[in-house]
């Protein structure tokens, strides 16, 4: 296959600068601990914040949905793939977000790309936070709108850009919880600026849904702004422990997406077992408040422990806790030595994060025990000292 020889050269180049990515195979289900290479290790790099991926009642819900609706719905939603169970889930998601309506998407990536390419176009302006997720970055690029990036959480910079804009439409887009920093978007100030300058506000609540707010309803609930965000994106693949995503907002938003959003229109409907599990996960999220309480207790314990050791956790204020390392090869060596000590944390390198800011990205779950977190802190301290980072 000589025409693809360039792939080998590209891979060698990535390896040469310490940025080659490989898959790590887990030999057991997700939980506070997993099996890797035949041994059990503490897992601190999943997004299963509430530990719902292994809840037994989700398996029962999948079987019940499959028995009634079948294993799949092999059609697009706009043809014959819209089942009543899809409508039921969308209604529950709309209630969760304090919105009139919601629409399911196959993934968060497809939701963000679909929303941005549908809501704005030539002659419009997107104002995007510097550290927004890659799916937002790609959606901006594909939208054909002009894109202005404002400094991370810098409302003065955002207002400067809004003042300059003479565009037909303006859309401000931000992560609710930033996936590599663990900090929270300043939603009240964003809302105020959007109102002052006539901009639409879109929030990617992937890492906030199920996590932020007294009931886990996300960034808007956290700030007392339920129903005040025009476009909310959330996922089923983080705190809800599954896969899939949704957009929530006014009824007109849903109807417009059904008619114009290509990443919704031209793909197969979510399978009924997944939808049934999502309904059950939402029920557990509402009724088992101990999960969110334990999650935040664990996040506080781990963050304070890392800071006491002398690590830089950036501006983390959520269960996502970065540990800044800086150099690409060094962060991967840190990760390797942690795994030797029974702790799996993945190193994060550019282009996921800016040059010179490679980091470990720790994320805790409600199912982690205190002993597991203390083991992780001990290993972090040992390796950090070995590598001269603390």
pLDDT in tens, 264-317: 999 999 999 999 999 999 999 999 999 999 999 999 999 999 999 999 999 999
Catalytic-labelled residue, pool 207, 222, 254, 368: 207
Mean pLDDT of the region 229-251: 98
Q: Are 117 and 212 part of one and the same domain? A: yes
Q: What's the pLDDT at 150?
A: 99
pTM of the model: 0.95
Q: What's the pLDDT at 245?
A: 99
Q: Are 302 and 165 part of one and the same domain? A: no
Name the average pLDDT for the chain: 97
Q: How many domains does the chain have?
A: 2
Q: What's the pLDDT at 1?
A: 56
Burial of 259 (0-12, 13-18, 19+ CB in 10 A): exposed
Q: Are 258 and 328 part of one and the same domain? A: no
Is 207 a known active-site residue? yes
Q: Are 280 and 326 part of one and the same domain? A: no
Q: Are 306 and 275 part of one and the same domain? A: no
pLDDT digits (tens, 9 = 90+) for 327-338: 999 999 999 999
Catalytic-labelled residue, pool 238, 254, 335, 368: 238
pLDDT band at 18 (very low <50, low <70, confident <90, very high): confident
C-beta neighbour count of 127 within 10 angstroms: 27
Buried b vs exposed e over 15-26: b needs ≥16 C-beta within 10 Å?
eeebbeeeeeee
> Are 312 and 323 contacting, i.e. CB atoms less than 8 angstroms apart?
yes
CATH label of the domain that carries residue 126: 3.40.640.10
Cα–Cα distance, 357 to 24 (Å, whole number): 23
Range(s) of the domain holding residue 360: 18-47+289-386
Both tokens of 12, joined, read: 């060698």
Catalytic-labelled residue, pool 46, 143, 179, 357: 179
Q: What's the pLDDT at 41?
A: 98
């Amino acid at each position: 296959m000589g025409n693809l020889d360039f792939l080998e050269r590209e891979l060698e180049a990535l390896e040469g600068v310490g940025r080659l990515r490989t898959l790590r195979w887990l030999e057991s289900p997700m939980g506070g601990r997993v099996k890797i290479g035949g041994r059990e290790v503490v897992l601190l790099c999943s997004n299963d914040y509430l530990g719902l991926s292994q809840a037994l009642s989700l398996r029962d819900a999948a079987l019940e949905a499959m028995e009634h609706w079948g294993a799949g719905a092999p059609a697009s939603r706009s043809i014959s793939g819209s089942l009543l169970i899809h409508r039921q889930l969308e209604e529950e998601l709309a209630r969760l977000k304090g919105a009139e309506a919601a629409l399911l998407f196959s993934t968060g990536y497809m939701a963000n790309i679909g929303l941005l390419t549908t809501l704005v176009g030539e002659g419009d302006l997107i104002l995007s936070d510097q550290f927004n997720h890659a799916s937002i970055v790609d959606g901006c690029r594909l939208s054909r709108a002009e894109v202005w990036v404002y400094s991370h959480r810098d409302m003065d910079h955002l207002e400067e850009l809004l003042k300059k804009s003479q565009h037909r439409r303006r859309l401000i887009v931000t992560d609710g919880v930033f996936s590599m920093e663990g900090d929270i978007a300043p939603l009240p100030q964003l809302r105020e600026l959007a109102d002052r300058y006539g901009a639409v506000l879109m929030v990617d609540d992937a890492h906030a849904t199920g996590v932020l707010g007294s009931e886990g309803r996300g960034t808007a609930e956290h700030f007392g702004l339920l129903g005040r965000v025009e476009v909310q994106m959330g996922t089923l693949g983080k705190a809800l422990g599954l896969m899939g995503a949704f957009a929530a907002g006014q009824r007109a938003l849903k109807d417009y997406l059904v008619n114009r959003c290509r990443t919704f229109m031209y793909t197969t409907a979510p399978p009924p077992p997944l939808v049934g599990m999502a309904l059950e996960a939402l029920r557990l999220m509402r009724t088992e408040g101990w999960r969110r309480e334990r999650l935040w207790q664990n996040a506080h314990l781990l963050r304070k422990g890392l800071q006491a050791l002398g690590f830089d956790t950036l501006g983390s204020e959520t269960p996502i806790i970065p540990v800044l390392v800086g150099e690409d090869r060094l962060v991967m060596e840190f990760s390797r030595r942690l795994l030797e000590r029974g702790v799996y944390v993945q190193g994060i390198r550019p282009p996921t994060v800016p040059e010179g800011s490679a980091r470990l990205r720790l994320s805790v779950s409600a199912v982690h025990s205190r002993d597991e977190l203390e083991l992780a802190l001990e290993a972090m301290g040992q390796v950090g000292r070995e590598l001269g980072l603390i």
